[in-house]
Amino acid sequence: MISVKNIIKTFEDGVTVLKGVDCHIEKGEVVAIIGPSGSGKSTLLRCMNLLSVPTFGEVWLKDKLLNPVDPYLHTEVIEASNTYKKLVAGGMDGADAIVKIKKEDLLNEKFSAAEGKEYKAILKKLYKDNHIDINVARQKMGMVFQHFNLFNNLTVLDNLTLAPVELKLKSKEEAEKNAMALLKRIGLEDKANVYPSTLSGGQKQRIAIVRALAMDPDVMLFDEPTSALDPEMVGEVLDLMKQLAAEGMTMVIVTHEMGFAREVADKIVFIDEGIIKEQGTPDEIFNHPKDPRLQDFLSKVL
């Protein structure tokens, strides 16, 4: 469903927060991302829908490439280049040659006119076959934020219908009918016409979740959905997420709720200092952690 390949993220201030992350999320899988504060969990999640644009690397949604990638460093372009052919002819393994070219930026030398034409054709094809407009891709990737981010200027109902109607995915009537059904599902249909400021945190977050569901997403991204909640409201939000997981929704969840991750996730990803140090099933991660940083982390949070 989602593949991030060799993601590197350096912020404007020069700090590199993700240092080459590979991560694959299968359809129907629930993946929990855990790790210490500041390790890059949110940044990784935000790279998946390009709220944060990776400095290097690729983000794929199914078979579509989401982020603009330096064309000269694209694998297919490299493979068509004379530099690559020369290296391979010299006895180098193909994969090693690609790594070497990327690393040493060997393609940055100017191309001959013929080569240029060839690359252009490859790039055009690449773009045509693989690329998708990010705004279209995001329609299928729901996101839930730590601080809910319900639209303050709109009623609950309008929060749920704005995007489907604006993007012409549904008529206003359809969108409202669907929204009411979603609100009914979480027992908040009586809140349809109030503004978000009158709601409790738990109510806000459940509405934020169904706002994302109103787009019929293929995958849902959660960034610490319960961290800003009073303890007594955490349960209602986690219960809703468990329901979604049981229904087969593909979910990526950044969380500090280890019990929840253990119970619901199919796969746990442990990230530390911008690197995925270990990933595996809940049993592997919680009962048989191998990485010393993970062992240390678990001893603190469990």
Ligand X SMILES: Nc1ncnc2c1ncn2[C@@H]1O[C@H](COP(=O)(O)OP(=O)(O)OP(=O)(O)O)[C@@H](O)[C@H]1O
Single out the segment in contact with other proteins by CB under 8 A; choices: 82-90, 131-139, 179-187, 245-253: 131-139
Residue 39 contact, options other proteins, ligand X, Mg ion, none, Cβ 5-8 Å cut-off depending on partner type: ligand X
Which helix H or strand E contains 78, and what residues bound it? Answer: helix 75-80
d(CA 121, CA 123): 5
Residues 211-230 that bind other proteins (CB under 8 A): 211-212, 215
Residue 195, interface with other proteins (CB under 8 A)? yes
Residues 224, 228, 232, 233: is their CA dihedral positive or negative?
Answer: negative
Q: How far is CA 178 from CA 28, 34, 186, 191, 210, in A?
A: 23, 34, 13, 15, 10
Phi and psi of 269, rounded to 5°? -115, 120
Residue 153, interface with ligand X (CB under 6 A)? no
Residue 299 contact, options ligand X, Mg ion, other proteins, none, Cβ 5-8 Å cut-off depending on partner type: none
Contact flags string 25-64 toward ligand X, x per CB under 6 A = ----------x-xxxxxxx---------------------
Residue 255, interface with Mg ion (CB under 5 A)? no
**b/e sequence 145-160, b meaning 16+ C-beta within 10 Å:** bbebebeeeeebbbbb
Contact flags string 106-135 toward ligand X, x per CB under 6 A = ------------------------------
The only residue of 17, 21, 23, 42 in contact with Mg ion, by rule CB under 5 A? 42
Which helix H or strand E contains 272, and what residues bound it? Answer: strand 267-272
Q: Nearer to ligand X by C-beta: 236 or 272?
A: 272
Q: Minimum distance between the CB of residue 102 and other proteins, rounded to whole angstroms?
A: 26
Residue 197, interface with other proteins (CB under 8 A)? yes
Helix, strand, coil distribution of the chain in percent, nearest 5: 50, 20, 30
Residue 14, interface with ligand X (CB under 6 A)? no
Q: Minimum distance between the CB of residue 227 and ligand X, rounded to whole angstroms?
A: 8
Q: Minimum distance between the CB of residue 59 and other proteins, rounded to whole angstroms?
A: 14
Residue 38 contact, options ligand X, Mg ion, other proteins, none, Cβ 5-8 Å cut-off depending on partner type: ligand X
Contact 154, 162 (CB under 8 A): yes
Phi and psi of 248, rounded to 5°? 95, 10
The tokens describing 137, both together, are 């891709």
d(CA 38, CA 18): 11
Binding region for ligand X (CB under 6 A): 11, 13, 15, 17, 35, 37-43
